[in-house]
Structures are given as C-alpha cells and as structure tokens.
Amino acid sequence: MTLVSNTFFDDEMWLLTNLRELHALFEDQNKASKPVHPKKEGEKSIGPLDFFKE
C-alpha cells in the first residue's frame, strides 16, 4: 500500500519540507506526493488559511 499525500502549492501552514519530514517517519512504506494547483481545480486559492478569508 502506498502512502499518498496531497501538496497544495498555496499552503502557508504545511510546507513541502514538513511533508518530506513526515514521510521520513514511514521508512518502509511506499510514499507518493500528489501536487494540487488551485488554478487546475478552478480556484484562486485552496490553502487552509484561505478557507477563513471567504
């Protein structure tokens, strides 16, 4: 089974560096990261902080 994490390009709280550190904790696990771009999803922004701005 593969551990899959979404990475949001406009996320101010959860940086790609943090995701890599989290994945490092699962040494024997297959890991993948799925990049999510706001414009490809039809949104201006999808980061968690923008949820509270609207």
- Per-residue pLDDT, 35: 84
- Per-residue pLDDT, 41: 83
Distance between start and end Cα atoms, the chain? 37
C-alpha span between 17 and 23 (Å, rounded):
10
Judge if pTM exceeds 0.75.
no
- Per-residue pLDDT, 53: 59
2-51 per-position pLDDT tens digit: 888 888 877 777 777 888 888 888 888 898 888 888 888 888 887 766 65
Residues 35 and 7: beta-carbon distance below 8 Å: yes
